[in-house]
Structure 1
Amino acid sequence: MNIYAAGLLISMIVYLAVGNYAGRKVRKLDDYFVAGRQAPTLLIVGTLVASLMSTNAFMGETGMAYSGNPSLIVLLTAVNCIGYTAGGLFFGRFLRRSRSLTVAEYFGRRFDSRRVRAVSGVTVLLGCTAYLVMVTQGAATIIHEVSGLSFFLTLPIAWAGYTLFTLYSGSRGVVLTDTLMFLLFASVAFLGLAFIVDQGGGWFAAVRELAVLDSRPDILSWHGTVGEETPWATPVEALVWSMILGIAWGIVVAVSPWQASRYLMARDEHVVIRSATITAGMVMILYAVLMFSGAAVNLLNPAIEPAQENMIWAAMNAMPPLLGVLIMSGILAAALSSASTFLSLSGFSISNDIRMPPDPEDPRSLGQSRWAMFGVSLAALLIAYLLPEGRLFWITYFAGTLFASSWGPVAFMSVWSGRVTEAGAFWGIIAGLTGNLLFNAISVLGLAELPVYLNPILVGVVLSWITIEAVSARGRVSAKEHAFRAELHMTPESEFQGAWVHRTVLWSWALIAAGVLTAGLMTFFYALPYREAAGVDGTGEIAMSLGVGLSMIVAGALARWGTLRSYGDRASDK
């Protein structure tokens, strides 16, 4: 066994031990599904970031950066990070207030409908299982590269690595291991960048070399490599693509089950808002670091195939062994953390939303949830064997954005509109899901070349919203639905504590300050040296640098405004 395999084995043993510890405290479904609703800010931030940044971030998206388009992912992230504070303020805290066990259960209770709950559960099962398959393949690839074992053997090893502790401990174990994994991979992301840049001759030397890299023209420009051999013919088309995906993923991080459901575990509503605020900044910074790292690996080896394994190659071939072990353990941690989240959500959907237990307090419900989760994990393992490797980026983006199309309009309107009927919500979810799947099929099968503005995500969102409005106009909202929504807007008195409000506002100011600092640092360390090295006017790069900082400022300002508007007037000194 080499040092890298030993490092992965030790990290997996640690996660299993933590999961076993957490599982001993699971006594009922409330513990298993939502960790007893007592999680503090650090644990919610940890699980939010960890469940988002899977192997797609460390392999699929860094592979895209390595291939010539780091800027598009950074721009995309700048747009979608605003979705965190918007989601926490306008959906997440109300979701927590509902005291539901899952997001699908919330929809069912909000619209007093078993079929709305069931169809929501089916979308969770489809999207999260697809995501789980991709993450399982990513984790298996990491173990394969490190150990030399065949992919056929490493798939069940990866599968067992996340299934065992998730099956036993549920959300209690997931939230703890997610936070440990988040702290690990966030640390190694910065360490990896520092080493890669140092090997490239230092920061400014690396920027100069990448600016004129013949094998990846325009890799550091605001639009990245575009042209006939890329998905984008022009810089404008690339920009439109990143903006559309940014908006879509903004909706995803605001309402998707693997993000919004984390708020159900929060200790109070201020934890929801603080976690969303901190996560917006952490995700933006981590993606900027990872994308430059992926691009900079070209300075060490410009011919890595497949591109999605560039960070694995760097860790095992260009870094000191100890740092390489930490990098590989961090990448595996990103995979396992997301896999545990997707597995738990898929299992919860079957046992709680599609099947719907007659008595959630029945002790047998806990065992049935574990069996449902085990069935999903076996199905994911089988599908992972059948699907070809190397498509992490595109399949993950497809699976993730299903929720933007099917849930986005319904989620926000369930809180802020009193006109949405049960039928409107039901058919809106189906219309959004169907529109996304149909237009994706047209594109994948090559039946037509869709223009950027007919992106399947946008089509699904628009179809969902139109359907909700059209169907709701022909029906009536029941008294029970009105009453449930009215209760959602009744803020508990405990949330008005002055110290809590003050602390939440301070975190919003911290994000605003981080945005100002980020804009300055990116301009000085990226845009200006790139302009000099590439011999261009640098307007696009400067605008991009300021735009990334501005997105963080907007997210922070939104968090501050929402906190003061919702809690500031009645804040007490208790």
Structure 2
Amino acid sequence: MVISVVVLVLYLALCIGIGIYANRAQRAGTAHDYLTGGSNVGFFVNGVAIFAAFATGGTMLGNMGLSYVGGWGYITAYNAGVAVGYLITAFFIAKVFRNMNVSTVPEFIRERFNNKTLNIIVPLILIGTLTAYLVAQMKVGGLLGERLFNIPYTWSVVLIGAVYIFYTAYGGMKAVTLTDFLQGLIMIAVVLVTGVVAVTKGGGVGNLYSLAQEISPQWTQTTAYPHIAYIGGFLVWASVLAILPHTVMRIFSAKNERTGRASLTLGVGMYIITSIFTCILVIALTIILNNGAALPDNDAAFLLFLDQAVPDIVKAIAYAGIFAAVMSSVSAMLLALGAALAYDLIGTLKPDFSEEKKRKLVPLSIVGFGILTLLLSMNPPELLTLLYSAAMGLLASSLFFPAILGIWWKRMNNAGALAGTLAGAISYLILLWGFEMPPLSEIAVSLPTSLLFSILFSLMTAPPTKEQMRRITIAHEREYTAEDEKQGAEIG
């Protein structure tokens, strides 16, 4: 216990110190600099940060809990979707997003389609879905703090929240990137060590897997849910990665689009390793140690493994790794939430809102959303992965096809983007709240619905003009510059 507390206190103090350093390094910067970290982050740091931002508390606890109760095949469908989503982002999104010279996903939508209704709806969708995502992550922090400090869950959430809200609001993307880099290194070290421990104690990979299969045959089968649920889990993550703000914003922070692509590749490689080591190897030994018995809280499966399988020093570092997973994700999402409100939504409602005012409002928005999510985290549901994946299903159903078609289909216009966004969101919510469907299967209907409406409404209305397509056309070739902006204003 003492070792765990010392390691955690040192880790939290380091995160606070990084936030102070980042604030001093970019105090005079613009809102764009605050949200992108100056757009000069290198390949390795950005790649590890991408991994850390996406490998959430759900990855370190929720995914393993879902593997324990639903079988490793179900969570593998999720993780296969993650891998495909990273590839889509790297090869079909990164170059144009980076060359557009924007700061956020809603800003890309605004610059591509310039539809005021859409410019209001998109930030609101992001605010709703990312808030749900944050609540799921905070449950992980609360559970771990409760176990580590032996204090009530509520105060655990408040303690962790105070640290990540501070360094995110105070240091912006620079602080988030540096802390995510540190957190990513801790996380991958924990993953590798615990995976090796599982294999060693299990007598080798083959023996470990066979014993777990013998104790819990359903763990290796795809019978926990209907097959449409497996398809839905895959589709959610294969599509949402392309427009998930706390991943996409890493492209904006990279030195250039090639660095952004390379960073995404590194991030997905680290995530694949994490998935195999945690959801298969670690959970296999957990099944053996627990004889396949039901757990009071499935999300605590990894904590059971740590209690029974590793020495105290490894446990202390692993606790820090889980905290790192929580804080790396929530800090990046908080930054995206602050940007969605202050930079995108208010920027649309008040076009004359100055850059200086945006720069001041974004940190205040981060603090506000941080407090809101702390309050909502006090009584969260079980099975974290299903909670935040449902929110991501709504985000993907709404924005995936408007974004991807906006990049690659010249005929796509603002009417199609608006129709696709609304059709995807509304159909997803109707299916989620109005029908009893297998987990995450709603997206198998809502995503094609969004595609259909995007295409039909674009074809039924006037195509975008050459002037409206100018910025995206340039972005397919090279970075859009201030000189291009000046020339565009003169043309307009």
TM over 0.5, yes or no?
yes
Partner amino acid for 1:248?
V
Letter in 2 for 1:265: S
Give the conservation status (yes or no) of the 8 Å contact 1:200–1:300. Answer: no
Decide which moves more: 480-489 or 421-430. 480-489
Q: Which of 461, 473, 479 is 2:447 aligned to?
A: 461
Contact 2:100 2:480 in 1 (8 A): no
Aligned to 2:404: 412
Shifted more, 68-77 versus 422-431: the winner is 68-77
- State the one-letter code of the partner of 2:384: L
CA distance in 1: counterparts of 2:136 and 2:361, whole angstroms = 26
Q: Which residue of 2 aligns with 1:348?
A: 339
Question: What's the counterpart of residue 158 of structure 1?
Answer: 160
What is residue 287 of structure 2 aligned with on the other side?
Answer: 298
Query: Is 2:427 the partner of 1:441?
Result: no
1:31 Cα deviation from its structure 2 partner: 2.0
Q: Give, in whole Å, the separation in 1 of the partners of 2:122 and 2:330.
A: 20
Kept in 1: contact 2:99–2:480 (CA 8 A): no
| Contact 1:35–1:265, Cα closer than 8 Å, also in 2 | yes
List per-residue Cα deviations over 1:239-261 (Å, max 9, x = no partner).
Answer: x4323322321111122222222
Return the alpha-carbon distance in structure 1 between the equivalents of residues 438 and 238 of structure 2. 21
Deviations along 1:168-210, one digit per CA (max 9) or x if unpaired, are 0111111111111111111111101212332334433322311
Provide the rounded CA distance (Å) in 1 between the counterparts of 2:35 and 2:81. Answer: 31
Per-residue deviation, 1:327: 0.8
Aligned residues of 2:31 and 2:355 also touching (Cα < 8 A): no
Shift of 1:361: 5.7
Q: Which amino acid aligns with 1:262?
A: R
Q: What secondary structure does 1:24 align onto?
A: helix
- Would the aligned equivalents of 2:66 and 2:383 in 1 still touch at CA under 8 Å? no
Contact in 2 for aligned 1:185/1:330 (Cα 8 Å) = yes
Q: Which runs of 5+ in 2 are unaligned?
A: 482-492
Match of 1:498 in 2: none
Provide, for residues 8-58 of structure 1, a one-character-per-residue CA deviation record: whole Å limited to 9, x for no partner: 222111111112211212222122111111111122212221121111111
Question: What do the CA deviations read for 1:388-426 (whole angstroms, capped 9, x no partner)?
Answer: 342312111111222210111111100111112212212
Q: CA deviation at 1:332?
A: 0.9
How far, CA to CA, are the matches of 2:451 and 2:80 in structure 1? 25
Counterpart residue number, 2:469: 482
Q: Is 2:255 aligned against 1:257?
A: no
- Cα distance change of structure 1 residues 493 and 473 upon mapping to structure 2, 3 Å threshold: closer
Give the deviation of 1:326 after TM superposition: 0.8
Q: 2:458 aligns with which of 466, 469, 472?
A: 472
Counterpart in 2 of 1:17? 17
Match of 2:2 in 1: 2
Q: Structure 1 residues 11 and 413 mapped into 2: Cα distance closer, same or farther (>3 Å)?
A: same
One-letter amino acid of the structure 2 residue matched with residue 5 of structure 1: V
Change (3 A) 1:379 1:68: closer
1:354 shift after superposition: 0.9
> Do 1:68 and 1:217's aligned partners in 2 also have CA atoms closer than 8 Å?
no
2:473 maps to amino acid: A
Q: In structure 2, the residue corresponding to 1:37 is in which secondary structure?
A: coil
Q: Partners of 2:322 and 2:134 in 1: how far apart?
A: 16
**Cα distance, 1:68–1:101 mapped onto 2, change above 3 Å:** closer
1:268 Cα deviation from its structure 2 partner: 0.7
**Contact 2:240–2:395 (CA under 8 A) maintained in structure 1:** yes
Match of 1:320, as an amino acid? P
1:364 shift after superposition:
3.1
| 2:39/2:252 contact within 8 Å kept | yes
Q: Aligned pair 1:141/2:140, yes or no? A: no
Distance 1:58 1:194 in 2: 16
2:424, 2:447 within 8 Å by CA — same for their partners in 1?
yes
Distance of 1:388 and 1:129 partners within structure 2: 12
Unaligned runs of 5+ in 1: 444-448, 495-574
Distance between the aligned counterparts of 2:150 and 2:101, measured in 1? 47
1:380: which partner in 2? 373
Match of 2:232 among 228, 241, 244: 244
The Cα shift of 1:451 comes to 6.8
Partner of 1:425: 417
Q: Tell me which moved more, 7-16 or 345-354.
A: 7-16
Alignment-derived partner of residue 174 in structure 2: 172
Q: Secondary structure at the match of 1:267?
A: coil
Contact 2:86 2:264 (8 Å CA) reproduced = yes
**Identity over aligned residues, as a percent?**
22
* Cα distance change, pair 217–326 in 1 and its aligned pair in 2 (3 A): same
Report if the CA contact (8 A) 2:431-2:442 is conserved.
yes
Name the amino acid aligned to 1:283. Answer: Y
Counterpart CA distance in 2 for 1:79 and 1:378 is: 32
Is the Cα–Cα contact under 8 Å of residues 55 and 329 in structure 2 kept in the other structure?
yes
Note the C-alpha offset of 1:79: 4.0
Contact 2:93 / 2:404 at 8 angstroms: preserved in 1? Answer: yes
Structure 2 CA distance for partners of 1:17 and 1:61, relative to 1, 3 Å: same
Change in CA separation of 1:388 and 1:84 when aligned onto 2, cut-off 3 Å: closer
Cα 1:492–1:485 shift into 2, 3 Å: closer
Measure the CA separation in 1 of the matches of 2:229 and 2:255. Answer: 38
1:31-50 matches, within 5 Å, as 31-50=33-52
The residue identity in structure 2 corresponding to 1:477 is P
- Looking at structure 2, the residues matched to 363 and 404 of structure 1 have their Cα atoms a distance apart, in angstroms, of 32
Give the counterpart of 1:274 among 257, 262, 276. 262
Specify the SS of the correspondent of 1:473: helix
- What's the secondary structure of 2:478's corresponding residue? coil
For residue 355 of structure 1, give the secondary structure of its aligned residue in structure 2.
Answer: helix
Higher mean displacement: 90-99 or 189-198: 189-198
Q: What stretches of structure 1 move > 6 A for 4+ residues in a row? A: none
Give the match's secondary structure for 2:137. helix
Name the amino acid aligned to 1:323. V
Q: Who is 2:311 aligned against?
A: 320
Instruction: Decide which of 368, 371, 377 is 2:361's aligned counterpart.
Output: 368
With normalisation by structure 2, the TM-score equals 0.91
Contact 1:432 1:463 in 2 (8 A): yes
Gap change, CA 1:451 and 1:175, over 3 Å in 2: closer
- Structure-2 change in CA distance of 1:188 and 1:360 (3 Å): farther
Question: Displacement, 1:328?
Answer: 0.8
Q: What TM-score, normalized by structure 1, do the two folds share? A: 0.78
Tell me if the contact between 1:256 and 1:407 (Cα under 8 Å) persists in the aligned partners.
no
Q: Encode CA deviations 1:331-375: one digit per residue, 9 max, x unaligned.
A: 110011001011110111000111116457643322111111111
The answer (yes or no) to whether the contact 1:2–1:147 under 8 Å persists in 2 is no
Q: Distance in 2 between matches of 1:9 and 1:390?
A: 28
When the two chains are superposed, the root-mean-square deviation of aligned CA atoms in Å is 2.1
Tell me the distance in 2 between the aligned counterparts of 1:490 and 1:44: 23
Which whole-Å CA distance do the structure 2 matches of 1:379 and 1:114 have between them? 27
For 2:392, give the aligned amino acid.
G
Shift in Å at residue 471 of structure 1? Answer: 1.8
Q: How many residues align?
A: 473
Q: CA deviation at 1:136?
A: 1.2
Code of the aligned partner of 1:263 = I
| Matching residue's letter, 1:351 | A
Asked whether the 8 Å contact 2:179–2:328 carries over to 1, the reply is: yes
